[in-house]
Each structure stands twice: as structure tokens, then as C-alpha cells.
Amino acid sequence: ELVETALSEYDKCQGEKIKAEEPKWSEVVAKHVDSKLGEVAGNITEVQKVLEDTRNKVQEERDKENRTKNIILYRVPETADGTGREERIKQDKEFCHELIGKALEVDIIENDISTIIKLGKKDKDKCRPILLQFRERSTKNRVMESLFKLRNADTKFRNTSITHDMTKLEREECKEMVEEAKKRQ
């Protein structure tokens, strides 16, 4: 009888140990929920990254679209110091109209150009580029198609360089391609 009681007590003790070691339902659920929340958090982070990438691509495309009517003129002579703002703007307009009308032989009227802006801060040692925005993309295309005529233009226009207005990303890609081409030579 004593042995049976001892065995019974032993079984009871072992049963309690097994019960204590068995995970509780709430613990199992909590672990499962935690793992699923971790997956969801990872998925949310991934979706946020995709959304940000998409926003950046859309912004880049908008920027490209906004620049389709623009060109940039480099090495355009600066106006003399002491010249008023109004006079500088007038001289820049005259230079641009002469360049396009006479040197490139593209027929344009005053309204074909919507904006002429000097880019950057004025520096007496540097010529600032000029942003030229046309009202129509076709006018810009005619100008770009006529660039070969700059070789035979008057001296004051020959040094001028004309390019498409590119986004920051496009400029970086172009710079990389130029550097790569230089390495190949």
C-alpha cells in the first residue's frame, strides 16, 4: 500500500510537471500572432518602398514632361556690369532671337518663346546658362534639328552650345556615359 501511494504521488507529480511543460493555449496563440505581425510589418515596409519608388518614377516622368519644350544655352556672353536687370533681360532676349532666327534660320515670332531665364548666380568669371522655354514642342524640335547650322554662324554664336533640358537623373546618366566613353578611348 505504501508503494502504491508513493507511485500515485509520483504519477501525480509527473502529471503536474507535464501539465506545467505543456504550452498554454494563450501562449501558442500569442506566438503565432507575433510571427504573423512580424510578417505583416515586413510586408508593409516592402509596400511602402514600392510606393516610394513609384512616386519617384512618376515625379521623374512629370519632370521630363515639363522639360520637353525647354532647351539650355551654354556659353552665352554675360551683359556688362552696371547694366540694369531690365536691360540684361532685353539683351538676353535679343541674343536668343538672333541666335534662333539668324544663326539657326528657324522662323519664330516673339510669342514662340514663353520664358527666358538665366540660371545660377551671377559670377563675373563665368557665363551663366540660359533656359529657353518654347510654347510648342514643335518649335523646340525645329531649333534642335537646325543645330548643325551653328558651325557656319557668326562668331558671336559659334561658341554657344545648345542642349535639351534634362532632369537631374538624366544628367547623371549622361555624365556616366561620357566618362565611360572617355575610358574606352
pTM: 0.69
* Per-residue confidence (pLDDT) for residue 7, from 0 to 100: 61
* Spatial CA neighbour of 92 closest among 111, 76, 109: 76
Contact assessment for residue 73 and residue 164, using Cβ atoms and an 8 Å cutoff: no
Torsion of CA 83, 85, 91, 92, to 10 degrees: 130
Start-to-end Cα distance in the chain: 102
Give the three cell numbers for residue 78. Answer: 554675360
Q: Cα Rg for the chain, rounded, in angstroms?
A: 36
* Per-residue confidence (pLDDT) for residue 158, from 0 to 100: 86
Which residues neighbour 60 within 8 Å (Cβ) at sequence distance 6 or greater?
A: 167, 169
Q: Which residues are 11's β-sheet partners?
A: none
Q: Using CA atoms, how far apart are residues 180 and 79, in angstroms rounded to an integer?
A: 37
* pLDDT digits (tens), the chain, 185 positions: 565 666 666 666 656 555 555 556 677 677 777 777 778 888 888 899 999 999 999 999 999 999 999 999 999 888 776 678 888 888 889 999 999 999 999 999 888 999 999 998 887 778 899 999 999 999 999 999 999 999 988 888 988 999 999 999 899 999 999 999 999 98
